[in-house]
Amino acid sequence: LRKQARQLENELDLKLVSFSKLCTSYSSTRDGRRDRYSSDTTPLLNGSSQDRMFETMAVEIEQLLGKLTGINDKMAEYTNSAGVPSLNAALMHTLQRHRDILQDYTHEFHKTKANFLAIRERENLLGSVRKDIESYKSGSGVNNRRTELFLKEHEHLRNTNNLIHSFFFSFSSIAMATKENMTSQRGMLKSIQSKMNTLANRFPAVNSLIQRINLRKRRDSLILGGIIGICTILLLLYAFH
């Protein structure tokens, strides 16, 4: 099962690298096409080979993730079987490691896929807007000035959209890193608390001694306070007489 898991993980790693490169090249290609876009009435994204390649690779990666999930489930069943010692740290560590790898690959795949779909949706919208602008420009040659203003406004909107898109993903990365740090700190605090409870349970005599010391200290404080109060009253009586 470990051998099968490592083989699937290697395949997934290669597929995800190619998938990420495909999405990057897709974005660069669309930017270049937008710059060279003229009065073509064919949508930019219809019939694209990159779109078909994206769909094929996404299906392959999802199938590999499903297989790897099944292998992890089988390993978990093996570690929980009656013939395997329940306290085998090496087995639990191996299982947790493969689960973490699966979770990382799944997160990376969904993130890359979401970025690709967002870019494609944005391109569909911007392509439709540009097509309408170009149609208007070609149908009214006397309004070149107005057309130029529309194009400039569209360019400003596109730049703003790109800026918001970049800010959103940067903020998402920061939020994920903060969440991971908080989770790690919570785990450390729980571990420290568990160790303190273990020490307290292991040394009850120390707790009893500390409690007796605190009680004696409190008693001495009360006695000292009473003596000071009595002396103060006697001094006041002497002063008034």
In angstroms, the CA 120 to CA 75 distance is 39
Q: Is residue 225 part of a domain?
A: no
pLDDT at 163: 80
Is 0.85 surpassed by the pTM of this model? no
- pLDDT greater than 60 at residue 75: yes
- Integer-rounded Cα Rg, in Å, for the chain is 35
Higher-pLDDT residue of 193 and 205 is 193
Q: Residue 204's pLDDT band (boundaries 50, 70, 90)?
A: low
Q: Is residue 89 part of a domain?
A: yes
Alpha carbon 3 to chain centroid, angstroms: 29
Whether the CB-CB separation of 132 and 39 falls below 8 Å is answered with no
Please report, rounded to a whole number, the percentage of residues in the chain having pLDDT higher than 90: 0
Residues sharing a CB contact under 8 Å with residue 134, sequence separation 6 or more, in sequence order = 37, 38, 39
pLDDT at 2: 85
Q: Residue 200's pLDDT band (boundaries 50, 70, 90)?
A: low
Q: How many domains does the chain have?
A: 1
Element (H, E) at 69: helix 49-79
**Range of the structural domain that residue 3 is part of:** 1-28+45-140
The number of residues in the chain equals 241
Give the residue-averaged pLDDT of 156-160: 83
Q: Is residue 75 part of a domain?
A: yes
Q: Is residue 93 part of a domain?
A: yes
In angstroms, the CA 127 to CA 121 distance is 10
Q: Is residue 96 part of a domain?
A: yes
pLDDT at 43: 42
Higher-pLDDT residue of 240 and 45 is 240
In angstroms, the CA 27 to CA 22 distance is 9
Element (H, E) at 91: helix 89-139
- pLDDT greater than 70 at residue 136: no
CA distances (Å), origin 110, targets 33, 115, 124, 166, 203: 26, 9, 21, 17, 50
Q: Is residue 101 part of a domain?
A: yes
76-91 pLDDT, tens digit per residue, is: 887 776 555 555 677 7
The one-character DSSP state at 44 is S
CATH, residue 110: 1.20.58
Tell me the average pLDDT of the chain: 76
> Hey, is 83 helix, strand or coil?
coil
Q: Is residue 68 part of a domain?
A: yes
Q: Is residue 110 part of a domain?
A: yes
pLDDT at 144: 66
